[in-house]
Amino acid sequence: MSRPLQFEDTGEHTLPVSGYQAVLAVPGVWRLLSSALLGRLPIGTASLAILLLIREESGSFGLAGITVGAYALTSAIAAPIQGRLLDRFGPRRVLPPAAIGQAVALVAVVLTAQAGASDFAVVLAAGIAGALVPPISATVRVLWPEIVRSPQAVESAYALDATAQELIWTSGPLIVAAAVALAGPATAVLITVAVLLAGTSLFVTAPPLRSWPRHEKPDSRAGALASLAFRMLLGATLMMGVGLGTVEVGLPALAVAIDSAPIAGVLLAVWSLGSMAGGIAYGARTWGSRVGLRFAALLGVNAIAILPLILAGSLGAAIPLAVLAGIPGAAALSCLYVLVGREAPKGTMAEAFTWSLAALITGIAAGSAIAGQLVDSHGAGRAFALGAASIGAAALITLLGPIRHGMAEP
């Protein structure tokens, strides 16, 4: 599958054989990385901006939560459909219409909310916006094996991709907070629209998109789900998402429990920073072990790293323990992306990546909902216990399923 990136004006390029050097030496990769980061930034801003907008205009957190829930639900449902379209038609025919459609839907959310339209109209507009999130993440992940030579370089590329996700989750809420403070939540939504259109435009014109693989007809109508190993990997991804969702709720709850509610955002931020640091360190070195075993091991380490948060009783303990809990996250996602790419049946790679994203989002949503109930009844410690157990279950699924079914290649 892997082949060097080629351009009409320069021909074939000989790339370094390992690590970040191989990735960053690819012509046009800086444009690809930066535009993909910009194009995906709305993933980190849209939900919070919509939540704050609906809360301000309606006075109801209930409606705001339902609206954001509709946005997240439709994005998860539509992702595999968009993946199939990507496999069939390519990113330059799929991403621009999706971006334009989502921009129109987000503007409709603002207009319906400010006009006092029915709750149904507001939720419908948000649901349409969620269904049209441009699948930039899947596009990038399909491209990496096409534009770098060595397997290690591909893993480093995926580590960069996972780290970029943490940047999105860290910077997105800060951008929304600044926009709301300066001009209100409606402006935050409209800024999201502007970033969406600019980022997608820059991304689809990036030279590496010329290396999009030629479409191959899938062997089965089931598409990516035809693979047993891939279905089992989705189960592990779902459980990983449940664990992440519980920690996202558990950290703010911990801040409240230790009488430090204002630093809830700080705990979430340092958790993400830990993940970023771990992802960068992981992608910087060459690994001789098998990627499937590494994925299971990182999940196991992640489960263990979460457990000390149960005992955190002070701010001084909570901050370093949150960093520790985050360190394996991006590295585990890097392994996950490699495995998804390897196990995707012929002609379904983009669909496979969108299925994995949908499983992760669904797991996070479920974990957040369950953790909220546990925090109310038993405190933050139970949320962290569930998070550790869920990610441990993901490791077990990986060991018992995907590795045995062909995911044991180096």
Q: Is residue 22 part of a domain?
A: no
Q: Which of 166, 189, 211 is the last residue of a domain?
A: 211
Q: Is residue 155 part of a domain?
A: yes
Q: Is residue 383 part of a domain?
A: yes
Q: What is the mean pLDDT of residues 57-62?
A: 85
Q: Is residue 5 part of a domain?
A: no
**CATH at 328:** 1.20.1250.20
Name the pLDDT band for 407 (thresholds 50, 70, 90): very low
73 and 44 in one domain? Answer: yes
Measured distance CA(233)–CA(37) in Å, rounded:
26
How far from 396 is each of 233, 343, 401, 404, CA to CA, in Å? 11, 18, 8, 12
383 and 352 in one domain? Answer: yes
**pLDDT at 258 (0 to 100):** 85
Name the pLDDT band for 15 (thresholds 50, 70, 90): very low
Asked whether the predicted pLDDT for residue 398 surpasses 60, the reply is yes
At 105-140, the pLDDT tens digits run 999 999 999 999 999 999 999 999 999 999 999 999
Asked whether the predicted pLDDT for residue 74 surpasses 90, the reply is yes
The fraction of the chain above a pLDDT of 70, given in percent, is 93
Measured distance CA(398)–CA(386) in Å, rounded:
18
Measured distance CA(79)–CA(353) in Å, rounded:
9
At 247-289, the pLDDT tens digits run 988 988 888 888 777 777 788 889 989 999 999 999 888 777 7
| Residue 205: both structure tokens together | 């014109």
Asked whether the predicted pLDDT for residue 240 surpasses 70, the reply is yes
245 and 377 in one domain? Answer: yes
| Residue 331: both structure tokens together | 């590295």
The torsion angles phi and psi of 44, rounded to 5 degrees, stand at -90, -5
Q: Which domain holds residue 170?
A: 27-211
Number of domains in the chain: 2
Q: Residue 16, Cβ neighbours under 10 Å: how many?
A: 16
**pLDDT at 5 (0 to 100):** 36
271 and 359 in one domain? Answer: yes
Q: Is residue 243 part of a domain?
A: yes
227 and 204 in one domain? Answer: no
Instruction: Please check whether residue 233 is in contact with residue 407, taking contact to mean a CB–CB distance below 8 angstroms.
Output: yes
186 and 264 in one domain? Answer: no
At 309-323, the pLDDT tens digits run 999 988 889 999 999
127 and 238 in one domain? Answer: no
For the entire predicted model, the pTM comes to 0.85
193 and 79 in one domain? Answer: yes
Name the pLDDT band for 10 (thresholds 50, 70, 90): very low
Q: What are the DSSP calls for 305-344, one per residue?
A: HHGGGGG--SHHHHHHHHHHHHHHHHHHHHHHHHHHHHHS
255 and 206 in one domain? Answer: no
At 361-397, the pLDDT tens digits run 899 888 888 888 888 888 889 999 999 999 999 999 9
Q: Residue 280, Cβ neighbours under 10 Å: how many?
A: 18
Q: Is residue 170 part of a domain?
A: yes
Does 403 or 377 have the greater pLDDT score?
377
227 and 202 in one domain? Answer: no
How far from 328 is each of 151, 206, 283, CA to CA, in Å? 21, 31, 12
199 and 272 in one domain? Answer: no
| Residue 22: both structure tokens together | 């191989």
Asked whether the predicted pLDDT for residue 401 surpasses 70, the reply is no
At 170-200, the pLDDT tens digits run 888 889 888 988 999 999 999 999 999 999 9
At 81-105, the pLDDT tens digits run 999 999 999 999 999 999 999 999 9
Instruction: Please check whether residue 144 is in contact with residue 89, taking contact to mean a CB–CB distance below 8 angstroms.
Output: no
In three-state form (DSSP H/G/I as H, E/B as E, the rest C), the secondary structure along the chain is CCCCCEECCCEECCCCCCHHHHHHCCCCHHHHHHHHHHHHHHHHHHHHHHHHHHHHHHCCHHHHHHHHHHHHHHHHHHHHHHHHHHHHHCHHHHHHHHHHHHHHHHHHHHHHHHCCCCHHHHHHHHHHHHHCCCCHHHHHHHHHHHHCCCHHHHHHHHHHHHHHHHHHHHHHHHHHHHHHHHHCHHHHHHHHHHHHHHHHHHHHCCHHHHHCCCCCCCCCCCHHHHCHHHHHHHHHHHHHHHHHHHHHHHHHHHHHHCCCHHHHHHHHHHHHHHHHHHHHHHHCCCCCCCHHHHHHHHHHHHHHHHHHHHHCCCHHHHHHHHHHHHHHHHHHHHHHHHHHHHHCCCCCHHHHHHHHHHHHHHHHHHHHHHHHHHHHHHCHHHHHHHHHHHHHHHHHHHHHCCCCCCCCCC
Q: Is residue 84 part of a domain?
A: yes
Mean pLDDT over each residue of the chain, to the nearest integer: 87
199 and 173 in one domain? Answer: yes
Q: Is residue 253 part of a domain?
A: yes
Does 256 or 331 have the greater pLDDT score?
331
Q: What are the DSSP calls for 92-111, one per residue?
A: HHHHHHHHHHHHHHHHHHHH
Point out which residues pair with 11 in neighbouring strands.
7
Q: Residue 61, Cβ neighbours under 10 Å: how many?
A: 11
